[in-house]
Amino acid sequence: MSFTLATWNINSVRLREPIVLKLMEEEAPDVLCLQECKSPVEKIPLEGFAALGYTHMVARGQKGYNGVAILSKIPMEEAGSEDFADLGHARHIAGKLENGVTIHNFYVPAGGDVPDREKNEKFGQKLDYLTGMRDWFHKETPQKSVLVGDLNIAPREDDVWDHKKLLKIVSHTPIEVEHLAETQDAGGWVDVTRQDIPDGKLYSWWSYRARDWDAADKGRRLDHVWATGDISAAAHGSRVLRDARGWEKPSDHAPVFATFDL
- Write out the catalytic residue numbers: 107, 150, 253
Q: Is 253 annotated as a binding residue?
A: yes
Q: Is 138 annotated to bind ligand?
A: no
Q: Check the annotation: does 66 bind a ligand.
A: no
Residue 181, SS3 per DSSP:
helix
Q: What angle do CA 181, 11, 107 make, to 5 degrees?
A: 25
9 marked ligand binding residue: yes
- Residue in 52, 224, 208 with CA at minimum distance from that of residue 154: 224
Query: 120: annotated binding-site residue?
Result: no
Q: Is 25 exposed, middle or buried (0-12, 13-18, 19+ CB in 10 A)?
A: exposed
Strands 31-35 and 56-60 come out as: unpaired
Query: In sequence order, which ranges of 149-249 are alpha helices (DSSP H)?
Result: 163-166, 174-187, 192-196, 213-216
What Å distances lie between residue 202 and 27, 120, 160, 225, CA to CA?
A: 20, 29, 7, 13
Q: Which of 165, 164, 161 has the alpha carbon at shortest distance from 200? A: 161
Could you count the other beta carbons within 10 Å of the beta carbon of residue 168?
11
How far apart CA 110 and CA 122 sit, in angstroms, is 8
Annotated binding residues for Mg(2+): 9, 36, 150, 152, 252-253
Annotated binding residues: 9, 36, 150, 152, 252-253
